[in-house]
Amino acid sequence: FPPVLPNGDFIGVAHGSQLRQVLFSVRDDGLYGEGVFLLWHEISGVSITDAKGFQIRSGKYASGGIGFYAGASALLDLTGEIVTRIDGYTVDYCLMNRISYESNRKI
The residue that leads in pLDDT, 69 or 61, is 69
Q: What is the mean pLDDT of residues 77-87?
A: 96
What is the bridge-based pairing of β-strands 53-57 and 65-68? antiparallel
The whole-number pLDDT of residue 107 equals 56
pLDDT band per the 50, 70, 90 thresholds, residue 1: low
pLDDT band per the 50, 70, 90 thresholds, residue 80: very high
Gyration radius of the chain over CA positions: 13
The whole-number pLDDT of residue 62 equals 80
pLDDT band per the 50, 70, 90 thresholds, residue 36: confident
